């Protein structure tokens, strides 16, 4: 049974996707259904970003740096895998969107 998405989830997906594109991210082929996938050039190399389009209890964006060694020197990412995920609980949607985008803006030169 498919889950019903609410308006705030749709807004989160659209506005975070639009914000990533404005930062210079490139839309890439979605590797997993129900995810929106992007690639962003950062100060430490490529970052693959996957927005969970099926959020229910929190807003989640999964991401992973390609160069783990460089990334772990600058960012609080997983030092073994390069994962740089963000999980935000429900609060005013504008705050969730802003926080999600700030998470990626700090990776920019």
Measured between alpha carbons, how far is 92 from 49 in angstroms, rounded to an integer? 23
Q: pLDDT digit string (tens) for 87-102?
A: 887 677 788 889 999 9
Q: What is the pLDDT of residues 16-61, one digit of tens each?
A: 999 999 999 999 987 777 889 999 999 999 999 999 887 766 788 9
State pTM to two decimals.
0.84
On whether the CB atoms of residues 38 and 17 are closer than 8 A, the answer is: yes
Give strand pairing partners of 62: 50
pLDDT at 3: 46
CB-based contacts of 51, cutoff 8 Å, min separation 6: 13, 16, 17, 35, 36, 37, 38, 60, 61, 62
């Amino acid at each position: 049974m498919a889950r019903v998405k609410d308006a705030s989830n749709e807004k989160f997906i659209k506005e975070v996707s639009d914000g990533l594109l404005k930062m210079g991210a490139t839309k890439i082929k979605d590797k997993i259904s129900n995810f929106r996938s992007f690639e962003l050039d950062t100060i430490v190399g490529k970052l693959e970003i996957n927005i969970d389009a099926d959020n229910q209890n929190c807003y989640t964006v999964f991401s992973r740096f390609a160069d783990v060694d460089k990334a772990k020197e600058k960012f609080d990412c997983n030092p073994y895998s390069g994962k740089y995920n963000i999980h935000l609980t429900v609060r005013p949607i504008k705050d969730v969107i802003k926080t999600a985008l700030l998470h990626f803006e700090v990776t920019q030169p």
